[in-house]
Amino acid sequence: MRADVEAAAADIEQSVGLLRRRLDWEPALRKLDELNARAEDPTLWDRPSDAQALMRERTKLATQVEAVRALERERQDTLDFAELAEMEGDQASLEEAAATLKALKDRAGRAELEALLSGEADPNDAYVEINSGAGGTESADWALMLTRMYTRWATAHGMSVDVLEETAGETAGLKSATLQVKGLNAYGWLKTEAGVHRLVRISPFDSNARRHTSFASVWVYPVVDDTIVIEINPADVRTDTYRASGAGGQHINKTDSAVRLTHIPTGIAVACQTQRSQHQNRENAWQMLRARLYEAELQRREEAQAALEDAKTDIGWGHQIRSYVLQPYQLVKDLRTEVETSDTQGVLDGDLDAFMGASLSQRVGATRDAGGSFADP
């Protein structure tokens, strides 16, 4: 057991060293001191946009620094506890220390992945659009299952989820849904989920209990703030209003309060129906449209860079990224990274970190060394 404790502690120490290098530790501490000093300037909020940008930068850096310090502190405390348990021959406490270090090692691994989220929009909140494919009720139910999956993933990671748009299926499930996931690095993590998701199962809607294959698409784009200027010519945008079909009581079904905006040059369309006021839905839809156009620009940049490196990964509509097989066997497999698991229920309940982590590592070109930690590419 002592060997297990020492091995886990060594892995954590290696992760901490990597995190310190990625943060450029000493300059990062000086930068944090500078940001803290500027945050105390009473005139800072005379310029709200500058103040918000500074506070975001400070929060991100402070979170990264504290994560490293917490890993170091908890590692040492647990090692001291294990040493005391060994001296007293307390096997139960030694096992407890080993379990604590294992959980700490998992946290360190996630922190390594967080350190890879260096894209300009990675720290932002995210919009997640889910659309059912061909297949009627079965595909609509699959879209509902995906909506639940991402909601549970976000909740498990301390993020909040707002449903901005929901269109019910004709019999069950959802034709489409738009979620806003709020939390640090929401976009950085969720962007790896963009693409087509395939489900194979015995359909609960088929009286003959036949196996069905269903598809649903996931599109992810960052929420952008007022500091990012996205110029949109109003003449290029078509506005449609319609009667909302989702939850919202009697009022939402009596008025054409829902708003859909279509950016004609790109064909990008967004919709919002969660507010009772058409004006509020219109404002939210414009915010979403700005975010979609911003994400499209980020994707163009990424694809251009990937083409130069001859390592382009297709993530758009029409490109299947993951297969979920529930019958005749249990398997979820990511077709980009080859990561797979037989714990299909765990995945559908939001356990997506292994898939996200592998995809994120692939995107940034990171590799694992023999010790299991991420090495600089």
Identify the pLDDT of residue 63. Answer: 86
pTM, two decimal places: 0.66
Instruction: Determine the Cα–Cα distance for residues 307 and 194; give it in Å rounded to an integer.
Output: 19
Q: Which residue has the higher pLDDT, 292 or 128?
A: 128
| Pairing mode of beta strands 320-325, 195-202 | parallel
pLDDT 10s digits, 297-320: 777 766 654 554 443 333 334 568
Identify the pLDDT of residue 251. Answer: 44
Structural class in CATH, domain 126-367: alpha beta
Across the range 36-49, mean pLDDT stands at 89
> Are 121 and 27 within 8 A, CB to CB?
no
Identify the pLDDT of residue 350. Answer: 96
CA dihedral 196, 201, 204, 208 (to 10 degrees): 130
Q: Which residue has the higher pLDDT, 227 or 79?
A: 79
* 4 contact partners, CB below 8 Å, separation of at least 6: 98
> Are 216 and 131 within 8 A, CB to CB?
yes
> Are 182 and 161 within 8 A, CB to CB?
yes
* 269 contact partners, CB below 8 Å, separation of at least 6: 260, 261, 262, 263
Instruction: Determine the Cα–Cα distance for residues 19 and 13; give it in Å rounded to an integer.
Output: 10
Residue 293 has pLDDT above 70, yes or no: yes
pLDDT 10s digits, 145-200: 999 999 999 999 999 999 999 999 888 899 999 999 999 889 999 999 999 999 99
Across the range 16-28, mean pLDDT stands at 89
Identify the pLDDT of residue 148. Answer: 97
Across the range 235-258, mean pLDDT stands at 69
| pLDDT more than 90, % of the chain | 42
Residue labelled with tokens 């509020």? 280
Q: What is the CATH number of domain 2-115?
A: 1.20.58.410
The residue extents of the domains of the chain are 2-115, 126-367
Identify the pLDDT of residue 313. Answer: 38
Mean pLDDT, the chain, rounded, equals 84
Beta bridge partners of 120: none
What's the angle, vertex CA 158, arms to CA 217 and CA 344, rounded to 5?
45
